Chain A
Amino acid sequence: MDAGALKNEALGAIEAASTPGELDELRVRYLGRKSELKQALRAVRDRETGMALNEARVAIEDAVDVRQSSLERAELDRNLTQDVVDVTLPGEELPLGGLHPITQVRRIVEDAFLGLGYEVRDDREVETVEYNFDKLAFAPTHSARSSRDTFFFDDTHVLRTETSPSQIHVLEEKAPPIYMVSIGRVYRRDAITATRYPIFHQFEGLAVDKSLTLADLKGTLLHVMRALYGPERRVRFRTHFFPFTEPSIEPDVSCGICGGEGCRTCKYSGWIEMGGAGMVDPRVFENVGLDPEEWSGFAFGCGLERAAQLRHDVPDIRVLWEGDLRALRQF
């Protein structure tokens, strides 16, 4: 028999088989015990014929296998097209919570300062009058010392009114250069309204090094405000007064709602107040035993609530404190 011709005939038929049944029939016809090929193989006497027949057998077997898997795959795909879901139905409801907007802002601030090489810290909230006021050079007549403005426990203990005591703590703990940001809760004796809450959060930065300038402070705050509010924001500075900085300034960031044109959020000024800042007052250096001739520094403090409110357009600060899931799940 002609092994080559048989092989070609078989391969053509296998390729043409369109169902597993047809393929089975072909397998029996060409490879079954009674098939022409098997009979010829049993009868073979010379090596050459044997090799040709064997080669044909292997080729036919391979072709059957290949055709088999392709037919099976086609059948599977046919079946799968019947198995259809409504893709518009919702997915399984998996538990997922969320971070509070103030935590989100806290992380942005932390990351921005980490990028500038600052360490992150927090200090105690119950402070002594010494650390909250005296060492920060608050005048004896400063209104913050009043029990109308500040929560006192007794004559010498208060809830810190700003994160600034951290400046003293870090300066007493380690030698400059210092680059730190302190983030935490602070307290003022304000009645609870849509815009005021007696507890809020601040971040306080302090840099102490050789020959720092007011320009460095401006640049640092620009960087952080843009990290918080976006790269297109502009920042301006106004002169101000704080006991522990001199010169003192207040940073404003351009209003993101009106783009600086003036709107209700920015009280039609185009600018939004962000906090306070300034060059470390020499008195503060003296209070912690550093030479103001040798070291200079800058400090700044800003509220996290304000940032969270602006980022998410939350008009009422109480939303941040009520723990209402209908609000919190949006953030």
Chain B
Amino acid sequence: MRVPVAWLRDYVPLEMPLDDLATRLSVSSAEVEGIERRGVPDQDGNLSRFLVGRVLEASKHPNADRLQLCVVDVGEGEPRQIVCGAWNFGAGATVAVALPGAVLADGLELEQRKVRGELSNGMILAEDEVALGTDHTGIMLLDEILEPGTPLADVLPIVDDVLLVEATGNRPDLLAIYGIAREVAALYDLELAPPAGVNPERTGDEGIDVQIEDYDGCPRYIGRLFRDVAIGPSPVWLKARLHAAGMRPISNVVDATNYAMLALGNPLHAFDFAVLRDGRIVVRRARPGEKLRTLDGVDRRLTPDDLLIADAERAVALAGIMGGEDSEIGESTTDVLLEAANFEPFTIFRSSERLRLRTEGSNRWEKGVDPYLAAPAATLATQLIVELAGARWVGDTDIQGDLPERPVIQFSPDRADRLIGIETSAEEQHAILGKLGFEVEGERVLVPTWRARDVTREVDVTEEVARFRLEDVPFTLPERRAMFGTLTREQQLRRRVEDVLVGLGFVESYTPSMLPDDETTWKLSEPITIELTALRTRLLPSLVEAARRNAEVGSRRVALFEIARVYLPAGELPDERLRVGGVAEGGFAYVKGVVETLYSALKAEPVFELTKDLLFHPGKLARTAAGPLGELHPSLLEGTWSAFELDLSTLLEASREPVTYVDVITFPPVRQDLAFAVLEEVAAGDLIDAAREAAGAELREMRPFDVYRGNQVAEGKKSIAFSVSFQSHERTLSDEDASGLREKIVEALARRFGAELRA
């Protein structure tokens, strides 16, 4: 909401510095996101060079067909000669004049100069030159009762500040200048003027045929009829206010409705009464397949959820959101029906949502407008229409359903103190509530109509007190009876996984949870980009992408990891699993080392098995219980890259912490090297497993340290050398013990794999 300060001053006297006002409003009412300075500079007496003038003579410039030569009285005794390019005025017009030396809104300083040989001793102003609007098609015409020489700043806001107020969704009352004024008055204990607008005299008593078929959607409809309406532009002051508040002036009648909405918060609409069939208004839901062309020229297909304003035959407006093109006010309109209604929020929200159509009106309706606001809004608009368009007000109707009662709430200042954590006397609390329009009678609080949707419970009343006391509330901590917080085992181990990978050179990276479309998984119904469409079931594709980008920009030693979720389809909700994934330059042995180190850091034993996975090199790939690891498929990245993707909880479950101590110091080990010739397809791991089975726990370690192929072994065979150590934690093993264990291993490997012990 843009709040022009000059307009705000109509309702509340402001004397405080604007910065202070902005801070107080931000803390207690609604955030002020900024203060916009508008208009011409207000320094070095600049304002004194802007005056009201009256055109005494106007004729064609002798040397230029498109210029006027004017003589203008600006109250100086001696009139000034001014050259002007506009033709929308003549002698007798009251205009705005800037004298030489004046600095305009765009920062340009006006000079006395000759234009085509004629002296121009000033400038007749168009609205854009003083930031009152964007129009530059003609100069501003002012009210004829103004005296020449009157300072322009006294009659037009050629200097103004605009507060940019961001009201929260529960405060539609703050989407109005008057609502902001009410907060300011309460915050600073100032006098609040009554709402703007006085009904002019009604000069007729014509009936208006309004039927509400749906009181749920429209609990109230005030219709007012005007005849002899002269549609035309609004006066400069009104256009200036709309412009400052961010709305485009259209015509006097439409501007009057927008002005009343901005001032009071109740959106209004004006129909060209002559085109309403049978002069009737029907408020109803749309019929299936019904259509309406709205003001923006778009044909809208409606559903029975949409609330309509119709005439005897057809839709003429999408209630609360936008009028129809047919019944729009135009230059030739002479009869106007003013609508000041109340619409139910959810209905408006749903239609505006479905039609993707947000307007100043729908934005207010969907937050819940006070149904008692319709009457003052109608009054203000009526006054303006009569004054600005010379209209006669000839008919009035007010159809109401059951309007909500004002909530009555049991409120205890003591209980408010206990929730807020600071003492505020009952008198002060009641005073705050009173200034905000609440009526306090003992322990009962009567909520004002404009807050009736938001304040319905004691805690809501407490908030009203709290927001006025917010800066005084102390900083305390809960008085805990028990205090204990610790990371769970999984959370601790996750940190260890992160730290170990960092120690191994991996840089942690965050990649998006979504991938391009994938039929097999959870898909967003309305993605913002094709790249982020389906929930991922793997981490590696995104990490491979990131690795590729890094390689492309020439980063060295690329090693990335991420701990994040994958979303596996599983019934009503996906199974969200945390995984740790990594991609790095290096081959199979490197990534296996990384995974072994991870397991080792967790005090866990990995078991490696063969597996299949399309992301990997089919011959350089294995898996542990937690997931795959291996060399990436060469089609994915250039060079030798490896990767792993492990399910974090499976990995953490393998942890055997705390470990149990084993005595490997008291009784020394016996170490031997053993080399076996085996067929090429026999895996080292299978030999080790068989050896363990044969020798039992006294085979302490058996680690391959060399694989040999060549003329020392037969064709189709390889030799694997192991360093082996035997150890008992109960006694020192003798040479005989060791050779006995060795025999068992040699025998088992020979029997099961045809392995030959090499000397």
Q: List chain A positions with a Cβ less than 8 A from chain B.
A: 95-100, 102-103, 107, 110, 113-120, 124-126, 128, 139-143, 146-148, 151-154, 157, 159, 177, 179, 185, 187, 189-192, 198-199, 207, 209, 211-216, 218-220, 222-223, 236-241, 246-250, 267, 279, 281-282, 296, 320-326, 328-329
B419's contact among A114, A207, A213, by CB below 8 Å, is which?
Answer: A213
Task: Report whether B508 and A328 are in contact in the complex, using a CB–CB cutoff of 8 Å.
Answer: yes
13 contacts between A and B (CB under 8 A): A120-B487, A126-B574, A146-B353, A179-B480, A209-B478, A209-B480, A237-B27, A238-B28, A240-B168, A246-B460, A247-B462, A323-B509, A326-B555
| Alpha-carbon gap, A125 to B513, bound state (A) | 10
**Chain B's nearest CB lies how many Å from the CB of A138?**
10
A124-B573, A213-B419 are contacts. A320–B168 as well, Cβ < 8 Å? no
Besides A189-B528, A282-B459, 19 new A-B residue pairs in contact (Cβ under 8 A), listed by A number: A97-B508, A102-B510, A115-B485, A117-B484, A120-B488, A125-B576, A147-B353, A147-B526, A151-B526, A151-B527, A190-B528, A199-B513, A216-B477, A218-B475, A222-B475, A241-B168, A321-B510, A323-B549, A324-B549
Task: Report whether B420 and A215 are in contact in the complex, using a CB–CB cutoff of 8 Å.
Answer: yes
Residues of A contacting B170 in the complex (Cβ-Cβ under 8 angstroms) = 241
Task: Report whether B526 and A189 are in contact in the complex, using a CB–CB cutoff of 8 Å.
Answer: yes
A211-B418, A215-B476 are contacts. A126–B470 as well, Cβ < 8 Å? no
Task: Report whether A213 and B171 are in contact in the complex, using a CB–CB cutoff of 8 Å.
Answer: no
Task: Report whether A238 and B478 are in contact in the complex, using a CB–CB cutoff of 8 Å.
Answer: no
B471's contact among A100, A236, A267, by CB below 8 Å, is which?
Answer: A236
**Chain A's nearest CB lies how many Å from the CB of B145?**
42
* In the complex, B679 has a CB within 8 A of chain A: no
Task: Report whether B504 and A95 are in contact in the complex, using a CB–CB cutoff of 8 Å.
Answer: yes
Q: Which of B420, B509, B529 has the most CB of A within 10 A?
A: B509
Top-10 shortest CB links A-B: A95-B505, A215-B421, A213-B421, A323-B546, A241-B168, A117-B483, A247-B463, A323-B509, A239-B467, A219-B475
| Alpha-carbon gap, A147 to B33, bound state (A) | 26
B550's contact among A102, A119, A142, A323, by CB below 8 Å, is which?
Answer: A323
| Alpha-carbon gap, A215 to B495, bound state (A) | 33
The residue on B at minimum CB distance from A94 is: B505
A95-B504, A107-B495, A296-B419 are contacts. A328–B529 as well, Cβ < 8 Å? no
* In the complex, B567 has a CB within 8 A of chain A: yes
B509's contact among A100, A209, A213, by CB below 8 Å, is which?
Answer: A100
| Alpha-carbon gap, A232 to B499, bound state (A) | 30
| Alpha-carbon gap, A242 to B340, bound state (A) | 30
Task: Report whether A97 and B559 are in contact in the complex, using a CB–CB cutoff of 8 Å.
Answer: yes
Residues of A contacting B168 in the complex (Cβ-Cβ under 8 angstroms) = 240-241
A267's contact among B27, B34, B512, by CB below 8 Å, is which?
Answer: B34
Residues of B contacting A98 in the complex (Cβ-Cβ under 8 angstroms) = 502, 507-508
Query: Chain A binding site: helix, strand, loop or mixed by DSSP?
Result: mixed
| Alpha-carbon gap, A213 to B524, bound state (A) | 40
A interface footprint on B488-523 (CB within 8 Å = 1, 0 otherwise): 100100010010011111111111111000000011
* In the complex, B224 has a CB within 8 A of chain A: no
A116's contact among B171, B345, B477, B567, by CB below 8 Å, is which?
Answer: B477
Task: Report whether A143 and B26 are in contact in the complex, using a CB–CB cutoff of 8 Å.
Answer: no
* In the complex, B558 has a CB within 8 A of chain A: yes
| Alpha-carbon gap, A218 to B567, bound state (A) | 37
| Alpha-carbon gap, A84 to B527, bound state (A) | 64
Task: Report whether A99 and B418 are in contact in the complex, using a CB–CB cutoff of 8 Å.
Answer: no
Task: Report whether B576 and A322 are in contact in the complex, using a CB–CB cutoff of 8 Å.
Answer: no
Which chain B residues in 1-28 approach chain A with CB under 8 Å? Answer: 26-28
Task: Report whether A237 and B503 are in contact in the complex, using a CB–CB cutoff of 8 Å.
Answer: no
Residues of A contacting B367 in the complex (Cβ-Cβ under 8 angstroms) = 141
* In the complex, B553 has a CB within 8 A of chain A: yes
**Chain B's nearest CB lies how many Å from the CB of A118?**
5
* In the complex, B346 has a CB within 8 A of chain A: yes
Which chain B residues in 517-573 approach chain A with CB under 8 Å? Answer: 522-529, 532, 535, 543, 546, 549-550, 553, 555, 557-561, 564-565, 567, 573
Residues of B contacting A148 in the complex (Cβ-Cβ under 8 angstroms) = 353, 356
Residues of A contacting B502 in the complex (Cβ-Cβ under 8 angstroms) = 96-99
**Chain A's nearest CB lies how many Å from the CB of B649?**
13
| Alpha-carbon gap, A147 to B564, bound state (A) | 25
Residues of A contacting B488 in the complex (Cβ-Cβ under 8 angstroms) = 119-120
**Chain B's nearest CB lies how many Å from the CB of A127?**
8
Task: Report whether B576 and A126 are in contact in the complex, using a CB–CB cutoff of 8 Å.
Answer: yes
| Alpha-carbon gap, A185 to B223, bound state (A) | 51
Residues of A contacting B418 in the complex (Cβ-Cβ under 8 angstroms) = 211, 213
Task: Report whether A141 and B475 are in contact in the complex, using a CB–CB cutoff of 8 Å.
Answer: no
* In the complex, B273 has a CB within 8 A of chain A: no
The residue on A at minimum CB distance from B507 is: A97
**Chain B's nearest CB lies how many Å from the CB of A25?**
47
**Chain B's nearest CB lies how many Å from the CB of A160?**
11
